[in-house]
Amino acid sequence: MDSVVTAHEAKWGKYRLLLDGINLYKCPDCGRKVFSPEEAAMVQNLTKALAENLSENKPDFLNILEVADVLRVSKQTVYNMIRDGRINAFKCGREWRFRKEDILDSIEGNYNVAARGDTVSTKDPELVRELLGQK
């Protein structure tokens, strides 16, 4: 393997990062290029930092498809949840928008009532005492 100083293009989604002055090892027979461990770590750290920066700059609002993906349900289920009032949403033009925080809060809140399939009743403490044989 021959040591070569070259430029390398790292991609993250639709973004392209061109790194110049990277030390690579190139096979003279097949032309395959390999990073040294130090260079590989540097490229990984740079692309990770870029990804974190991009995710921090994303708005805190989601659309129907993004909510469906987060909740692992269909778009129709999201529409039904809006209609039933199970999740908060607002219209921005013709599109529904959701606050990311509201969706995450609704997930947290639903863990407590998942077995009932609806909401917590004010009679729940009474029913629990009755089932436990306490009055």
- For 60-76, what is each residue's pLDDT tens digit? 889 999 899 888 899 99
Q: Which of 13, 37, 56 is the last residue of a domain?
A: 56
Task: Extract the tokens encoding 93.
Answer: 């033009």
Q: State whether 35 and 90 are in the same domain.
A: no
Low-confidence ranges of the chain (pLDDT < 50): 114, 135
Q: Rounded distance, CA 37 to CA 83, Å?
A: 54
Q: For tokens 């997930």, what's the residue?
A: 107
Q: Rounded distance, CA 46 to CA 73, Å?
A: 34
Number of domains in the chain: 2
Q: What is the pLDDT of residue 110?
A: 58
Q: What is the pLDDT of residue 58?
A: 60
Q: Which of 10, 25, 56 is the last residue of a domain?
A: 56
Q: Rounded distance, CA 7 to CA 42, Å?
A: 14
Q: Rounded distance, CA 107 to CA 61, Å?
A: 16
Q: For tokens 């790194």, what's the residue?
A: 19
Q: For tokens 């044989």, what's the residue?
A: 133
Note whether residue 124 is domain-resident. Answer: yes
Note whether residue 135 is domain-resident. Answer: no
Q: What is the pLDDT of residue 128?
A: 64
Q: What is the pLDDT of residue 82?
A: 93
Q: What is the pLDDT of residue 38?
A: 84
